[in-house]
Amino acid sequence: MADLQSINARTGQPLGAAWAASTAEEIDAAVAAAAQAAALFAATSAAERAALLRDLAEALLAGRDTLVPLADRESGLGLARLGGELDRTAFQLRGFADVLERGIVHAVIDDAAVAGMPPAGRPRMLRVRVPLGPVAMFSASNFPFAFSVLGGDTAAALAAGCPVVVKSHPAHPELSRQTVALARQVVAARGLPVGVFQSVEGAAVETGVRLVQAPAIAAVAFTGSFHGGMALARVAAERARPIPFYGELGSVNPLVVLPPVVPSQGAALAETLAASICQGAGQFCTSPGLVIVRQDAAGDAFVQALADRLVAQTPHAMLTPGIRHAFEQGVSAWSCHAGVQTLVPGGAGMDALPRPFLGQVQAGDFIADARLQTEVFGAAALVVRVDSLAQTLAVLRAVGGALTVTLWGADSDTPEHRDLVRAATQVAGRVLFAGVPTGVAVTAAQQHGGPFPASTAPATTSVGYAALDRFLRPVALQEAPAWVVNCRGLV
């Protein structure tokens, strides 16, 4: 029975005919093809993989006139936003190619032999890295290009020499199919095995579970909901041979507004923050969902300015009815909480465009109730009022883990600011001292991950060129003969 259908995000009407999801047999065949290609692909040179990535980037850019309007119909995110996202995706692919060509991936640590008895004496040791094998990559709903079929996870895995089995997202199924077809054409044109790039599709939980359970899958990359990610993480951990699960699950992204910046910059910062909360209808994993403000008159003025500017925002339609329903439920739960004062009511019912929500809660109430510490995915934020640095630190500790923490006003070197920065680095993978977190640069220094519940593997990143480290495993070669050291595909 068909269970995939392209839907116009603005009208809710179907686009074209529906089609059947991948069967269990088709999922198994895709993984088998990836497994068969793994050794050959791992043996390719850095230059060969760089050429593949560049060709994928060029094909994506060449398909802009078809792919961007299709992405807009299925997501409602707008042509300008999606055109920029396609450019970013091509930039990522080319960036990983540059990394490969610089030799970073195949760098070897060579410890020469030292004569004598241990511990001073030692044999010659070379530390190399080898590809893990086939990677299951789960596309995200909110970035139809950058975190989807040819997004960062796919680019990183291919750069590392790992075949990819993409699980397309049902929120943009036709875009995914066309992008998959484009990628397969590039792989074939380069003379690589078809198993280097495979895909499966389906909206049912069973599709993802079967993919993760496939014995030949060596790692999983996932960006999506907390509950969906944790369910798949358990599947990965409970296999007969457990495998790494690199999950980005969600984040409240605290933003601390320190008193020194409010008198002179409060109005401008409130406008910037309101736009960030509503960017993409709040459907960013880095959307600031928690705003920590001092309990004083200047803080009151800032919060009022933020509320006024949020009222003026007009978020567009959300990606899917399911995401919209979860947003309405989250806003309702906050609105009904005894400790939350509603400042901007938000929510508009499923038949209207979403409206931003802003609530206010005292630090003690926030710290005491885990229900207030979870993400509401959409244009919604809680202001937490604190009366001291100690309370600010306690609020950050209550969050536990986030992709980002933003500190506005920590510009001078003081003991208090040092304490705050230390606390922020314990909570988040990225700490900002200016700007807003809803932009994630693709660069070697980027860290897009954080302590749980933001991600399941906080020592890794899903954005930036260090992402390929997830798909490489260190191996030490002791007293290896010259032919092993010089053999392409072994080291």
Please tell me the distance from the alpha carbon of residue 150 to that of residue 171, in angstroms, as a whole number: 16
Q: Which long-range contacts (CB under 8 A, 24 or more apart) does 414-423 make?
A: 416/389, 419/389, 419/393, 420/256, 420/258, 420/389, 420/392, 420/393, 423/393, 423/396, 423/397
Of 152, 165, 213, 203, nearest in space to 460 by CA: 152
Q: Which residues contact 282 (CB under 8 A, 6 or more apart)?
A: 315, 327, 354, 356, 377, 378, 379, 380
319, 171 contact by CB (below 8 A)? yes
Please tell me the distance from the alpha carbon of residue 64 to that of residue 368, in angstroms, as a whole number: 49
Tokens representing residue 243 in the block: 């495998």
CA separation (Å) from 312 to 72, 75, 325? 24, 23, 23
Say which of 74, 201, 248, 375 is annotated catalytic. 248
114, 123 contact by CB (below 8 A)? no
Of 132, 128, 111, nearest in space to 120 by CA: 111
Of 184, 204, 209, nearest in space to 194 by CA: 184
Say which of 74, 85, 285, 328 is annotated catalytic. 285
CA separation (Å) from 442 to 12, 49, 152, 248, 275? 33, 19, 9, 16, 22
- Known active-site residue 285: yes
60, 150 contact by CB (below 8 A)? yes
- Known active-site residue 336: no
Rg, the chain, Cα only = 24
Q: Which residues contact 428 (CB under 8 A, 6 or more apart)?
A: 253, 254, 401, 402, 403, 404, 405, 450, 451, 454
Q: Are strands 219-223 and 135-138 parallel, antiparallel or unpaired?
A: parallel
Give catalytic residues, as residue numbers.
248, 285
